[in-house]
Amino acid sequence: MNSAVPNPKAFLKLMAPTPAERRIFTAMRAGMRVLSWVAPGLAARVCLLLFTLPRRYTPPRFEQEIAATAEDLHFAWAGRELRAYAWGAGPVVLLVHGWEGRGAQLGRFMEPLVAAGYRVVALDAPAHGRSDGRRTEAVEFARALPEVVDQLGGVHAIVAHSYGAGATVMAIQRGLVVEKVVLIGMPDRLMHVIARFQFMMGVSDRVIARFLRLMEKRSGTRPEDVNMVEMDPSGVAACLHIHDRGDIEVPYVEGEAIMRAWPNAKHVATSGLGHRRILKDGRVAAMVTAFVQGEDVDDAVAIEVAETAQ
């Protein structure tokens, strides 16, 4: 069994929740298995395309409503335009979404942070939301963040989710300056993300070996070296790390690895919020706001609800 996917049935159901999606997904996996056997080089190139091609979804009503109240910001980066939403006035708190997300996906954090006296900026990352581009990956996420922060004149805090949290840690390791950072549902290393992708695609180790070299050529960084466990940002920024015990998309065992490796960070485990619902919970938003304000956060008090929903 792939150790990065401790609950394969639940993971596949999450990736393809409807019967029609499951049929398409099953057919795609079968096709990729055959391709990986007869043409591993081509299969690796297909994997690279799919891994770096985020899908853009129609935002739900809550995101559309909160976006309608925002100031529209534009940032120049690498010949492209990145877009963001902004609310309030004061020290800047930057919100960074995960893979196939949008800035307004973290909109639940906006109201308490604005009420506490902060200017909240929710970024659409490269090739996501309203920002330019079709393809991207974690290293590119990380390269974009310092440019955005510089054009904002610096930020007081960053609140980041999942893939975006990993990119934030990479950016801090590469010199991005921020006083406080909140990381939610973050994978512990890129190779575990790739292992889940391999499970989804159903391709062989031989294909993934070729895929890794293609990724390295594209990003200039070996995927094997993108290891958040070894990139503890708490030496240069106050760090709050939150992970849900029932997270299927990024399993809690990866959150535990971060907890063991980062003794100077504040760690909070929630229960019943999964990977995405955690962004909508008012208690999580209140906790994050308190941390950004410099208040103590008690990691012995876990947020719990009745059942997990991703």
More confident residue, 268 or 307: 268
**Considering only CA atoms, which of 146, 128, 145 is closest in space to residue 136?**
128
Residues 6+ apart with CB under 8 A from 65: none
Is residue 103 a contact partner of residue 72, using CB atoms and an 8 Å limit?
no
Summarised one tens digit per residue, pLDDT across range 152-168 is: 999 999 999 999 999 99
Q: What is the mean pLDDT of the chain?
A: 93
CA distance 36 to 29: 10
Phi and psi at 222, nearest 5°, equal -70, 125
Question: Residue 299 pLDDT more than 60?
Answer: no
CA distance 273 to 105: 15
Residue 16 has what pLDDT? 84
First to last CA, the chain: 22
Question: Residue 307 pLDDT more than 50?
Answer: no
- Mean pLDDT across the stretch 37-65? 95
Question: Residue 180 pLDDT more than 90?
Answer: yes
Q: Which domains does the chain have, with CATH numbers?
A: 1-310 (3.40.50.1820)
Residue 210 has what pLDDT? 98
pLDDT band at 275 (very low <50, low <70, confident <90, very high): very high
- Burial of residue 147, with CB atoms counted within 10 A of its CB: 0-12 exposed, 13-18 middle, 19 or more buried: middle
Phi and psi at 306, nearest 5°, equal -70, -40
Q: What DSSP string describes 167-187? A: HHHHHHHTT---SEEEEES--
Summarised one tens digit per residue, pLDDT across range 129-147 is: 999 999 999 999 999 999 9
pLDDT band at 302 (very low <50, low <70, confident <90, very high): low
